[in-house]
């Protein structure tokens, strides 16, 4: 087929968004223009997620919407859900093709070079291109596009762990990455294009370093962090998330000594009860987690630390939940991402005894979300009156722009075109009614050389 236009709909995580951008570029290289979803594209690509609740219903709805915009569009489905349930998706009316994890990066080639019939809503099942997940061993780099300030750069894919609640290893396959040299080269290009901040992303980022068809461990995440720290021209890096057992002292030390790696960590905890961590098959216990947080704070007292938690996992009693609550309450962390446990097909967790009723899962989620608000406000308030640097984004809402400090405090300021996409020194003042930090011009007058601004945070 010879499509002129393509539009994307992406569900799920930053990795999926980066991969949609990479797929979009592949179409552009073949002369296919990327358009907005509402513009009635010739090809629609839905990049799905297996973590999303009711993934099938969402997928169905997006397909219907796409066909409303162009009843003759060719609809292709990729992403985690496509790998897990290819046949089911192929039977959704209007789906033309389903591509699994090993095939999705051939999407543009398949659609532009193969003779695929345009299915339309009434046609039969779509074509399935999905090999078993064990065959997904190539690493395909990807990065988010179009954001002048921040780019999400995928440096690792897949996961060799087997947490009992998680379908990601089944949907994305084994752990694999590019080389340190290839990531450095990409970052140099992005720096030359004016990107100011890179968020390193992956499924199990701390496991970076497995390469090639033989799946050899050739490098490690510490080496990547050390190498990126030397790239001239890149102003800021963030590590999107790292399993606590993989966050080594070396990484913490490198970040602490770096001017480019921000003092901000996101560490999945999932539960503060050792019993539940065992049932979840996590590779650490609460003492290790507390030790990692303490080590970060020892070297970077102002570091922002985010935590993922799952509540209502099978077997989680009221006492286990309270243990988690108290553990988090006492930890020097700055915010939580709380997820109520949700059963996933083909995982071990739903077979465990002690199912927690939905109502209790919701109550526990609410309690931890309020704890998160309390922690976040306290963290923000500790920083009132500090001078620091803020990178402002390009969205303007009600005459205001927002951005982040190095330690991930969300700052709002009056819109000024000179602020957008820039790192500016500011004095943090107070937390406003929306929970954002207000800021004013810092006392520093020489903005030309940021290296001379003392890094207070």
Residues within the interface to ligand SF4 (CB under 6 A): 159, 161-163, 166, 168-169, 203-204, 243
CA angle 279, 314, 319 (to 5 degrees): 90
Query: Considering the complex, what minimum distance in angstroms separates the CB of residue 167 from ligand SF4?
Result: 8
Q: Name 335's Cβ contacts closer than 8 Å, sequence gap at least 6.
A: 304, 306, 307, 372, 375, 376, 379
Q: Give the span between the Cα atoms of 294 and 161, in whole angstroms.
A: 25
Nearer to ligand SF4, 11 or 111 (CB): 11
List C-alpha distances in Å: 122 to 57, 67, 78, 317: 18, 11, 21, 49
DSSP 162: -
For residue 181, give Cα distances in angstroms to 192, 218, 231, 245, 280.
17, 12, 11, 25, 35
Structure tokens given for 349: 């967790």
130: its two tokens: 């999905």
Instruction: Assign 291 to helix, strand or coil.
Output: helix
Q: Return all residues near 239 (Cβ < 8 A) that are at least 6 apart.
A: 199, 200, 205, 225, 251, 255, 261, 264, 265, 266
Q: Among residues 312 and 425, whose Cβ is nearest to ligand SF4?
A: 312
**Which candidate, 445, 446, 433, 377, places its Cα nearest to that of 400?**
433
- Cβ nearer to ligand SF4, comparing 159 with 267: 159
Least CB distance to ligand SF4 at residue 282 (A): 7
Given a contact cutoff of 8 angstroms between Cβ atoms, the answer to whether 165 and 280 are in contact is yes
Q: How far is the CB of 170 from ligand SF4 (least distance, A)?
A: 9
> Cβ 247 to ligand SF4, closest distance in Å?
13
Minimum CB distance to ligand SF4, residue 364 (Å): 19
What's the closest the beta carbon of residue 349 comes to ligand SF4, in angstroms?
A: 11
Rounded least distance, CB 166 to ligand SF4, Å:
3
d(CA 376, CA 9): 32
Secondary structure letter of residue 261 according to DSSP: B
Query: Which two three-digit tokens encode residue 309?
Result: 């938690």
Which residue lies nearer to ligand SF4 by CB, 116 or 288?
288
Edge to edge, the sheet with strand 264-270 lists 264-270, 304-311, 335-340
Within 10 A of 449 (CB to CB), how many other CB atoms are there?
Answer: 7
From 342, 369, 370, select the one nearest 356 (Cα to Cα): 342
Smallest gap from Cβ 169 to ligand SF4, in A, equals 5
| Strand-pair partners of 307 | 267, 336
The nearer residue to ligand SF4, 166 or 293, going by C-beta atoms, is 166
Q: Measured from the CB of residue 206, what is the shortest distance to ligand SF4 in angstroms?
A: 9
Query: Which residues, 6 or more positions from 382, have their beta carbon under 8 angstroms from its beta carbon?
Result: none
Q: Whole-number minimum distance, CB 363 to ligand SF4, in Å? A: 24
By beta-carbon proximity to ligand SF4, the closer residue of 310 and 401 is: 310
Output the smallest distance, CB 204 to ligand SF4, in A: 5
């Amino acid at each position: 087929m010879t499509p002129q236009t393509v539009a994307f709909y992406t569900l799920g995580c930053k990795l999926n968004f980066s991969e949609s951008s990479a797929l979009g570029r592949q179409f552009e290289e073949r002369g296919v223009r990327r358009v907005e979803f509402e513009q009635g594209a010739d090809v629609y690509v839905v990049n799905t997620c297996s973590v999303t609740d009711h993934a099938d219903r969402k997928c169905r709805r997006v397909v219907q919407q796409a066909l409303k915009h162009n009843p003759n569009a060719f609809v292709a489905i990729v992403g985690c859900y496509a790998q897990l349930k290819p046949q089911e998706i192929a039977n959704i009316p209007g789906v033309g093709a389903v591509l699994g994890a090993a095939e999705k990066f051939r999407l543009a080639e398949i659609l532009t070079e193969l003779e695929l019939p345009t299915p339309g809503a009434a046609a039969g099942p779509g074509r399935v291109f999905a090999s078993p997940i064990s065959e997904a061993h190539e690493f395909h780099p990807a990065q988010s596009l179009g954001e002048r300030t921040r780019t999400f750069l995928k440096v690792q894919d897949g996961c060799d762990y087997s947490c009992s609640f998680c379908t990601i290893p089944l949907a994305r396959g084994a752990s694999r990455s590019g080389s340190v040299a290839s990531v450095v080269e990409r970052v140099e290009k992005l720096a030359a294009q004016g990107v100011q901040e890179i968020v390193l992303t992956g499924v199990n980022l701390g496991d970076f370093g497995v390469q090639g068809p033989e799946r050899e461990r050739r490098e490690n995440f510490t080496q990547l962090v050390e190498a990126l720290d030397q790239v001239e021209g890149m102003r800021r890096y963030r590590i999107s998330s790292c399993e606590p057992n993989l966050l080594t002292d070396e990484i913490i030390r490198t970040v602490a000594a770096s001017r480019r790696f921000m003092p901000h960590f996101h560490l999945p905890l999932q539960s503060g009860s050792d019993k539940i961590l065992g049932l979840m098959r996590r590779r650490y216990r609460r003492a290790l987690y507390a030790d990692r947080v303490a080590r970060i704070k020892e070297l970077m007292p102002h570091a922002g630390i985010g935590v993922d938690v799952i509540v209502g996992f099978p077997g989680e009693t009221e006492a286990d939940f309270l243990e988690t609550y108290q553990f988090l309450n006492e930890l020097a962390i700055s915010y939580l991402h709380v997820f109520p446990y949700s059963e996933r097909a083909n995982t071990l967790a739903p077979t465990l005894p002690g199912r927690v009723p939905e109502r209790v899962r919701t109550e526990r989620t609410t309690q931890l979300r309020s704890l998160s608000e309390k922690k976040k406000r306290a963290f923000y308030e500790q920083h009132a009156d500090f001078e620091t640097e803020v990178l402002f984004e390009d969205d303007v809402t009600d005459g205001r722009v927002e951005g982040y400090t190095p330690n991930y405090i969300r700052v709002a300021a009056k819109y000024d075109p000179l602020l957008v996409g820039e790192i500016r020194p500011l004095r943090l003042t107070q937390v406003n009614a929306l929970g954002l930090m207000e800021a004013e011009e810092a006392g520093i007058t020489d903005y030309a050389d940021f290296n001379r601004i003392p890094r207070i945070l």
